[in-house]
């Protein structure tokens, strides 16, 4: 009881002092060693891999292409002990050391989250290359899984899993991401309504905490850390290995797109699909505003049963809603799959002439975004600023949100796609650190804009950021109860509001597993001076 009371008091102190971090910073710069001294200290580390102090500018960039913080060094680990030794070393340097650590996969963060200004960035892909996957998929295995290094890419896991006839259950729309990166956030896409996000499909983790301790954790063993790091934004430990749940893999996919002009009908059909146990395997949606030649663009890849009627469909100057659905199947289902799909489609109320169907392999479907990436890279349009905004909107407020945003704040979607689709949280494990709206059913609404660096028009970074600000202001003023996915905030007060009732647990876990606030400073949740809270012993 006494220990519990002391812990509660420590948390309260953390909460009180946390509000003053930005006002009353404890300056330690006068006690810090010179940069060259830090370099000398780091060089003393015994590693299986190596530390690089040169050619490290790539570690100061990310997909968002808006923030750039140069580290002091980049670690290329060949073992988990490399990561553990580095963190232990910096932790033992004490609170006067400025060094922080950020794990970096393929650098697909948006706001500099995987950067560490004058700290050490850990190249997690290096760890992935030095370790192997191990499959546990024998016939007598009730829960097949793959044991993978956290620096491994999901696309590689897909290819290797298929050799065994299996595949992970839950995906992101883009597969060239690392396991550790997506598990530190959530990992959501069109399969989440059925299987939950990727963080709900993990059996075991190996984690290196902010003190350098290597911990194996599951739902029953070290469960507090297990749930904490899943969706924990890298604040409590660096995931180094994971056991990912598998299921028998399909061979082929029937991939479909249909259109709606009415938002109520569109959302009603989406919600009906995700509530059924015998529905499609993938459900997503898009908002298309003032798009020219929409259906003509689809014809190069999708087939339409009524091309004459479809050719009369006009999307210019209108707000159109696209439902994207897919049904997976195996070779033995070839004779019945069309009838199953026809039955499922008969329950929907889309514009009949706008049904477009494509038949592709499972790999082609899951890796579909990579094809677009390669095209954009050829045109020099991939490495541009990406001021993305990802929101989770409660079902009860999605119509209010749509009324205020689509057609008012946003008058076209030429700068990038807008995703919109519902998920059902009642099927999720809600013990993780991921923050969601209070309602069980909510919509992911993702504004995936690309900005042109030299532009001063509607495709400029400034203009898109102003639109994002207006959208967030609408959410706040209308009290819509939204939450950010892949969140980014500038003050700890904003982070407290984001986590809400989960903030106390978040602070407690930080104090427990990363007491010196060494890990992932790019999230801007805690500062290194956070460690001084431990000086209060009650």
Whether residue 108 lies in the annotated active site: yes
Extended beta strands in 267-417, E state = 282-289, 303-304, 319-329, 356-361, 389-394
Biggest alpha carbon–alpha carbon distance for the chain = 77
Yes or no: say if 117 and 72 are a contact pair by the CB < 8 Å rule. Answer: no
Among 173, 281, 324, 367, the one annotated catalytic: 173
CA dihedral in degrees (166, 169, 173, 178; nearest 10)? Answer: -80
User: For the residues of 73-109, what is the DSSP string, one character each?
Assistant: EEEE-SSHHHHHHHHHHHHHT-TT----EEEESS---
Confirm whether 284 is a catalytic residue.
yes
- CA 382 to CA 374: how far, in whole Å? 8
**Residue of 62, 269, 284, 367 marked catalytic:** 284
- Local structure of 136: helix, strand or coil: strand
| Residue in this structure with the two tokens 């044991």, named with its chain if needed | 147
DSSP for 456-494, written as a single string: -STTSHHHHHHHHHHHHHHHHHTT---EESS---SSHHH
Cα–Cα distance, 72 to 485 (Å, whole number): 30
Judged by DSSP in three states, 525 sits in: coil
Query: In sequence order, which residues have a C-beta less than 8 Å from that of residue 239 and are 6 or more positions away?
Result: 150, 179, 180, 183, 184, 205, 206, 207, 229
Let me know: does 525 contact 496? Beta carbons within 8 Å.
no
Q: Considering only CA atoms, which of 490, 497, 509 is closest in space to residue 433?
A: 509
Rounded to an integer, what distance in angstroms lies between the CA atom of residue 375 and that of residue 99? 39
CB under 8 Å to 79, separation ≥6 — which residues? Answer: 48, 49, 127, 130
Q: Which of 62, 108, 324, 386 is catalytic?
A: 108
Strand duo 120-123 + 73-76: pairing: parallel
What does 394-454 look like in DSSP terms, one character per residue?
A: EGGGHHHHHHHHBTTTBS--TTS-EEEEEEEGGGS-TTSS----SSSEEEEEEE-----TT
Catalytic residues: 108, 173, 284
């Amino acid at each position: 009881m006494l220990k519990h009371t002391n812990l509660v008091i420590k948390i309260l102190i953390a909460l009180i002092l946390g509000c003053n971090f930005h006002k009353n910073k404890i300056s330690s710069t006068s006690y810090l060693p010179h940069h060259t001294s830090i370099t000398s200290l780091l060089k003393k580390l015994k590693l299986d891999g190596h530390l690089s102090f040169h050619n490290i500018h790539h570690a100061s960039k990310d997909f968002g292409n808006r923030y750039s913080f140069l580290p002091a060094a980049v670690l290329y680990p060949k073992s988990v002990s490399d990561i553990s030794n580095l963190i232990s070393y910096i932790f033992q340097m004490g609170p006067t050391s400025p060094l922080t650590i950020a794990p970096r996969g393929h650098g697909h963060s948006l706001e500099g989250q995987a950067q560490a200004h004058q700290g050490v960035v850990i190249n997690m892909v290096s760890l992935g290359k030095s370790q192997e996957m191990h499959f546990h998929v024998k016939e007598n295995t009730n829960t097949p899984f793959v044991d993978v290094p956290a620096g491994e890419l999901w696309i590689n896991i897909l290819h290797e899993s298929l050799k065994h006839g299996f595949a992970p259950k839950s995906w992101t729309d883009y597969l060239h991401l690392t396991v550790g990166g997506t598990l530190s956030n959530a990992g959501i896409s069109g399969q989440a309504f059925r299987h939950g996000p990727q963080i709900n499909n993990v059996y075991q983790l190996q984690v290196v905490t902010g003190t350098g301790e290597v911990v194996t954790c599951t739902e029953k063993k070290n469960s507090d850390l297990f749930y904490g790091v899943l969706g924990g934004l890298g604040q409590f430990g660096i995931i180094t290995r994971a056991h990912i749940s598998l299921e028998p893999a399909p061979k082929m996919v029937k991939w479909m797109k249909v259109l709606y002009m009415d938002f109520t009908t569109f959302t009603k059909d989406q919600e009906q699909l995700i509530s059924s146990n015998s529905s499609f395997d993938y459900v997503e949606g898009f908002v298309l505003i003032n798009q020219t030649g929409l259906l003509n663009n689809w014809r190069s890849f999708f087939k339409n049963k009524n091309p004459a009627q479809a050719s009369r469909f006009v999307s210019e100057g209108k707000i159109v809603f696209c439902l994207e659905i897919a049904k997976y199947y195996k070779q033995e289902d070839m004779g019945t799959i069309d009838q199953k799909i026809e039955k499922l489609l008969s329950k929907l109320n889309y514009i009949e002439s706008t049904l477009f169907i494509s038949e592709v392999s499972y790999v082609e479907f899951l890796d579909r975004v990579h094809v677009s990436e390669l095209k954009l890279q050829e045109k020099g349009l991939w490495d541009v600023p990406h001021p993305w905004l990802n929101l989770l909107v409660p079902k009860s407020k999605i119509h209010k949100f749509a009324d205020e945003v689509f057609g008012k704040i946003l008058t076209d979607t030429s700068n990038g796609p807008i995703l919109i689709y519902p998920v059902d949280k009642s099927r999720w494990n809600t013990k993780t650190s991921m923050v969601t709206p209070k309602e069980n059913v909510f919509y992911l609404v993702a504004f995936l804009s690309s900005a042109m660096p030299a532009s001063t028009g509607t495709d400029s970074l400034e203009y898109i950021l102003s639109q994002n600000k207006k959208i967030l202001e609408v959410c706040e003023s209308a009290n819509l109860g939204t939450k950010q996915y892949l969140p980014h905030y500038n003050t700890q007060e904003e982070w407290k509001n984001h986590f809400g009732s989960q903030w106390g647990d978040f602070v407690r876990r930080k104090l427990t597993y990363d007491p010196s606030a060494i890990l992932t400073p790019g999230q801007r949740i805690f500062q290194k001076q956070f460690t001084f809270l431990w000086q209060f012993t009650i």
